[in-house]
Structure 1
Amino acid sequence: MELIDWLWILHPALAVVVIYPLMGMTVYLGRQTRHRRVDRARLPATVAHDHRHLGKWLATGMVIVVLVAITVSIVTKSFWSDPGQQLLRAASLLLVLAGTVVALLVLWRVQQRWQRILFALLTWAGVLGLGAQPEVWRVSDDPGTFAFWTSHYWTGMGLVALTLFSMAVSPETARRLAWRQVHMTAGVVAAILFLVQGISGSKDLLEIPLNWQKPAIYQCDFSARRCPGAEQAITPTTVLDPVG
């Protein structure tokens, strides 16, 4: 594997090592929080605080992992292979990336609800803006197709939106039942999207060849599922009879 290949597996590695364990712990603490509140279970009073705190880290981790994937796609497909790319575009993309990170950091600090929702939207808008670049593979941008709803890109964007929303309204869930119900609904949808992400991400890993394999792989006809020279490779070799 070359350096570019290691960069491409950075996103799935972070998802497996960081995101999914965080998601599991957040769900577990969320169930304990509900169990303590509804069933009056004898659980530590800190479970609700731990649930909210890990939820914030999950949202932050989701944004970072998605930004890593988008950045690697743009850099390796354009600026890596063609250093002569426009400096203005590179500067603007870097500015959007920095602005997205700053909005995420501010989201951790602000206290009022409208401020939290505003910076959550700004963070998501930054992620969407970077993801809209032509180097980022999205399978389909048509919501009327099945490919759109099973796309690793779009389900990932949905997860980023849901986790940022949950982070923004987290203080409200401790005060009002309506916000808790909305939060639970968002959590159920997020759990389904995490399942879709695990399946679509594994599928994508099978479809992405190593960098040195791409010149040969991309000569194949993906619609017909044929590659140049495949017929000769599977043609049985005639074995001569040593007697005759």
Structure 2
Amino acid sequence: MESADWLTILHPALAVVLIYPLIGMVVRLGVQTRQRRMGESNIARTSGSEHTDLGRWLSAGVVIVVLIALVAAIVTKNPLSAFSGGWARGLQLLMVLLGTSISLVALWQATSKSLRLLFSLLTWLGVISLGAQPEVWRVSDNPFDPMFWTSHYWAGVGVTGLMLFSLGARPEILRQLRWRRIHVAANLLAAVLFSIQGITGTRDLLQIPPGWQLATIYQCNFDTLKCPPLASQPPAP
């Protein structure tokens, strides 16, 4: 495998090794926290704080892994010498990446409601801006197209927004029942999107050949699902 291939699989590797195990722990602690609030005394008192702390790491981790995926898609699409827009566009995208990363760090530290809302929106807009680049495969951008709902990218944008909501609204979720109910509803939707991500991500990995195979694979007709026959090779002596 070439370096570009390793960069491509970094995103799914981190998702499998870090994100999905974290999801399991956060969900279990969330259920235990609710059970304790309902009066079950055999639940550890620390379940609530552990759920909150791991939830913050999960939210930030999802954003970071998504940013890695977008960067990998942009820089591996073509050789750097053939990068569309040249250094000017590359610098612009780098500034968007840095701004998004800084907004995420600021969101982690912010305490006032207005700043948390601002940095949540800035982080999400940064993710969407990088994902809007032509190098990023989105299947379809039309929500009225059935293929749109099979897009790994758009499901990722949705779950990123939900994670940023949980991170930004953390104080309100801890203090108010109404916000906790919204949080539960948002996380149920996030669970569906994470499941879709697991399915569509596996599908997309099957469609990404190693770099040394690209010249041959791109001779195939992706509409008719047919490839030209390979030239016969003489038997080895």
Per the normalisation by structure 2, the TM-score is 0.93
Matches within 5 A, 1:147-158: 147-158=147-158
SS in 2 for 1:224: coil
**Corresponding residue for 1:240?**
none
Unaligned segments of structure 2, at least 5 residues: 233-237
**Corresponding residue for 2:48?**
48
Matches within 5 A, 1:190-209: 190-209=190-209
Does the alignment pair 1:132 with 2:99? no
CA–CA separation in structure 1 for the residues paired with 2:78 and 2:211? 14
Cα distance, 1:88 vs. partner?
1.3
Detail structure 1 runs of 4+ shifted over 6 Å in the superposition: none
- Larger-Rg structure: 1
CA–CA separation in structure 1 for the residues paired with 2:156 and 2:56? 17
| Distance change >3 Å, CA 83–CA 226, structure 1 → 2 | closer
CA–CA separation in structure 2 for the residues paired with 1:199 and 1:182? 26
Cα distance, 1:83 vs. partner?
5.8
Cα distance, 1:78 vs. partner?
3.8
Q: Is the 8 A contact 1:4 1:211 kept in 2?
A: yes
Aligned-partner residue type, residue 162 of structure 1: L
Of 76-85 and 55-64, deviating more is 76-85
Cα distance, 1:82 vs. partner?
1.8
CA–CA separation in structure 2 for the residues paired with 1:23 and 1:150? 22
Unaligned segments of structure 1, at least 5 residues: 234-244
Aligned-partner residue type, residue 206 of structure 1: L
Query: Deviations along 1:46-73, whole A, 9 cap, x unmatched?
Result: 2111111111111111111111111011
Does the alignment pair 1:22 with 2:22? yes
Cα distance, 1:80 vs. partner?
2.7
CA–CA separation in structure 1 for the residues paired with 2:106 and 2:213? 43
SS in 1 for 2:134: coil
Does the alignment pair 1:69 with 2:84? no
Q: Is the 8 A contact 1:78 1:85 kept in 2?
A: no
SS in 2 for 1:9: helix
| Distance change >3 Å, CA 83–CA 121, structure 1 → 2 | closer
CA–CA separation in structure 2 for the residues paired with 1:78 and 1:2? 14
SS in 2 for 1:185: helix
**Corresponding residue for 2:82?**
82
The count of residues paired between Structure 1 and Structure 2 equals 232
CA–CA separation in structure 1 for the residues paired with 2:203 and 2:172? 38
CA–CA separation in structure 2 for the residues paired with 1:84 and 1:94? 14
Cα distance, 1:81 vs. partner?
5.1
**Corresponding residue for 1:223?**
223
Aligned-partner residue type, residue 5 of structure 2: D
Of 199-208 and 109-118, deviating more is 109-118
Does the alignment pair 1:12 with 2:50? no
Cα distance, 1:84 vs. partner?
8.0
Cα distance, 1:3 vs. partner?
1.3
CA–CA separation in structure 1 for the residues paired with 2:171 and 2:36? 18
**Corresponding residue for 2:179?**
179
| Distance change >3 Å, CA 79–CA 102, structure 1 → 2 | farther
Cα distance, 1:153 vs. partner?
0.2
Cα distance, 1:169 vs. partner?
0.9
Cα distance, 1:173 vs. partner?
1.4
Aligned-partner residue type, residue 55 of structure 2: G
Query: Deviations along 1:79-120, whole A, 9 cap, x unmatched?
Result: 535268522111111111000000000011111122112111
| Distance change >3 Å, CA 68–CA 80, structure 1 → 2 | same
Instruction: State the identity as a percent.
Output: 52
Q: Is the 8 A contact 1:67 1:127 kept in 2?
A: yes
Per the normalisation by structure 1, the TM-score is 0.91
SS in 2 for 1:174: helix
User: What's the Cα RMSD here?
Assistant: 1.6
